[in-house]
């Protein structure tokens, strides 16, 4: 744009944008980063953040015609209190991925295989030989709780663990799974703080927490907007 243009001839739209940009600068300097980000979104829209998996591996599962199998493992300490957590997370994460354009192996078939094999497997290569898939995501949940650590009268979901992704390759006539990605996760729900237990049932809170956690885990594989984390 020619900077020598007479201000009187500037379009209304340009003057509005200039004012908004000035406001953005002011908010960023006196109101903190979050206010500046909010003003930036108002002008430029909510930018997308590239998926961690595609950034680190160069593989975009939302565009490549490759399938991903999702499996979840939990320790026995969690299984006793939440026996369906593994199946619920497999289903929720798989549905989230499918919604964002990632081809996934049927979670019901994965759950049936896990149950048939005693709920455990030694290595994802066992899954690679059983299912038609190019990638396998193994989600190990180390901790999972529904209540606030300081009060049993408050719900505040907390979960932590790690995710490993394996690429299926055929070696010497046999399918083998080799790790190509790994990362830890730690999640709290609701992000803003605990809620009273009498505000909703335990099962309803568990379902909402699983849904929130599956969204955070799934976003490792697809681009998402900054506002999705709020």
Domain-wise residue ranges, the chain: 7-44, 48-229
Helix (H) or strand (E) holding 208: helix 202-218
Sign of CA dihedral 219, 177, 186, 157: positive
Average pLDDT value for the chain = 84
Predicted local distance difference test score (pLDDT) of residue 46: 62
Structure tokens at 97: 């991925």
Identify the three-state secondary structure at position 79.
helix
Structure tokens at 84: 């369906």
Q: What share of the chain in percent tops pLDDT 70?
A: 77
Q: Say yes or no to pLDDT of 52 above 50.
A: yes
Q: Which residue has the higher pLDDT, 114 or 224?
A: 114
Residue 168: pLDDT band with limits 50, 70, 90:
very high
DSSP state of 228: G
- Collect all residues with Cβ–Cβ distance below 8 Å to 161 and sequence separation of at least 6: 139, 140, 141, 142, 143, 184, 185
CATH number of 48-229: 3.40.50.10610
Q: Cα–chain-centroid distance for residue 196?
A: 26
d(CA 53, CA 66): 14
Tens of pLDDT, residue by residue over 19-51, are 444 444 444 444 444 444 444 444 545 678 889
Structure tokens at 92: 């929720």
Helix (H) or strand (E) holding 22: helix 12-30
Among 185, 104, 91, 111, smallest CA distance to 141 is for: 185
């Amino acid at each position: 744009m020619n900077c020598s243009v007479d201000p009187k001839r500037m379009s209304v739209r340009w003057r509005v944008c200039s004012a908004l940009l000035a406001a953005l600068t002011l908010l960023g300097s006196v109101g903190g980063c979050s206010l500046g980000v909010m003003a930036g979104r108002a002008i430029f829209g909510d930018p997308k953040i590239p998926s961690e998996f595609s950034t680190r591996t160069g593989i975009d599962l939302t565009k490549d015609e490759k399938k991903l199998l999702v499996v979840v493992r939990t320790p026995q300490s969690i299984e006793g209190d939440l026996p369906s957590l593994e199946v619920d997370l497999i289903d929720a994460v798989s549905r989230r991925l499918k919604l964002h354009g990632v081809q996934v192996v049927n979670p019901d078939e994965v759950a049936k295989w896990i149950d048939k094999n005693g709920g455990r497997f030694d290595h994802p290569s066992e899954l690679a030989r059983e299912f038609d898939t190019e990638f396998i995501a193994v989600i190990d949940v180390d901790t999972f709780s529904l209540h606030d650590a300081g009060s049993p009268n408050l719900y505040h979901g907390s979960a932590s663990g790690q995710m490993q992704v394996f690429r299926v390759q055929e070696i010497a006539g046999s399918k083998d799974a080799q790790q190509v990605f790994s990362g830890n996760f730690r999640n709290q729900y609701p992000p803003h703080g605990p809620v009273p237990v009498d505000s909703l049932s335990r099962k309803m809170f568990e379902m909402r927490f699983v849904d929130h956690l599956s969204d955070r885990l799934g976003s490792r594989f697809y681009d998402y907007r900054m506002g999705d984390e709020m």
